[in-house]
């Protein structure tokens, strides 16, 4: 099996070298870029398995780069982890809303970055089961990593795909944010509970043109549930 390829987009050489050294020791293949223009060129040459992107870059922000990657059909499903000194909760939500799959604040340790990368890659690989799931015409195929309605593909990021897969295999039950973090993100990943809300919002937005957003339901004071039944409240 070939090594997973990680593209580090970071203008500070010392940080880039530190992260690259740790990733290579862990068996990853590493590409490096000091700005967004170089990153785009490297992505065009060969699609990496994950991008590690600094928020503050010389030519444009890492958040802008992330947004543009998530809008492009050819790069939408590539996971992105943002690196930043911005530790405020609102900044984290902006990053996740912009398409990032995770968010690491500086200063960080190489071990933390490695753990985050492994967790995001696990999520992006789907659930491991190859059985196609079908709920009233909404079809999720773990083998091809596609969500479809008829012959139309619904574009989802890796975290939204994993979240929908979990919901479709565990319908009609309410899960709290902490339970979803544990089941979908994994127990060893340190993310805030509001992260769940961000990805629920993204999932609903992707499903809305097809009318399936109603299946992802908020249960006030309890959490979220996937259900084809609409309660009268």
User: Could you read off the pLDDT of 80-115 as tens digits, one per residue?
Assistant: 999 988 767 777 788 888 888 888 888 888 888 888
Tell me the whole-structure pTM to 2 decimals.
Answer: 0.59
Mean pLDDT estimate for the chain? 87
Q: State residue 150 phi and psi, 5-degree precision.
A: 65, -125
Is 97 contained in some domain? Answer: yes
Same structural domain for residues 31 and 11?
yes
Shared domain for 17 and 112, answered yes or no, is yes
Lowest mean pLDDT among 63-67, 113-117, 197-201: 113-117
Three-state DSSP at 166 gives helix
Task: Verify that 120 and 144 share a domain, yes or no.
Answer: no
Looking at the 3D structure of the chain, how many domains does it have? 2
Q: Look at residue 233 and tell me if it is in a domain.
A: no
| Averaged pLDDT, 184-193 | 71
The two tokens of residue 87 are: 């530790």
- Can you name the residues that pair with 32 across neighbouring β-strands? 8
Query: Which residues make beta-bridge pairs with 175?
Result: 224
Contacts of 133 (CB under 8 A, 6+ apart): 139, 140, 141, 142, 165, 168, 169
DSSP 169: H
Query: Structural domain of residue 69, as residue ranges?
Result: 5-124
CATH number reported for the structural domain that contains residue 120 in this entry? 3.40.50.2300
User: pLDDT tier at 128 (50, 70, 90 boundaries)?
Assistant: very low
Are residue 14 and residue 117 in the same domain, yes or no?
A: yes
């Amino acid at each position: 099996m070939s090594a997973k390829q990680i593209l580090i987009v970071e203008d500070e050489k010392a940080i880039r070298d530190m992260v690259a050294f740790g990733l290579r020791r862990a068996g990853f293949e590493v590409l490096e870029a000091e700005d967004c223009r170089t990153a785009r060129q490297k992505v065009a040459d060969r699609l990496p398995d994950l991008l590690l992107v600094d928020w503050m870059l010389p030519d444009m922000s890492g958040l802008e780069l992330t947004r543009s990657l998530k809008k492009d059909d050819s790069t939408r499903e590539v996971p992105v982890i943002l690196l930043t000194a911005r530790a405020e909760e609102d900044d984290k939500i902006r990053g996740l809303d912009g398409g990032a799959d995770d968010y690491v604040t500086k200063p960080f340790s190489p071990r933390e970055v490695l753990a985050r990368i492994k967790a995001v890659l696990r999520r992006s690989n789907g659930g491991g089961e190859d059985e196609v799931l079908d709920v009233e015409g909404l079809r999720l195929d773990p083998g091809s990593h596609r969500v479809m309605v008829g012959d139309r593909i619904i574009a989802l990021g890796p975290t939204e795909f994993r979240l929908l897969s979990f919901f479709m295999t565990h319908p009609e039950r309410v899960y709290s944010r902490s339970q979803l973090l544990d089941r979908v993100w994994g127990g060893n990943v340190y993310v805030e509970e509001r992260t769940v809300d961000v990805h629920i919002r993204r999932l609903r937005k992707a499903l809305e043109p097809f009318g399936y957003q109603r299946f992802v339901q908020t249960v006030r004071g309890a959490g979220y549930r996937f259900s084809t039944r609409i309660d009268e409240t």
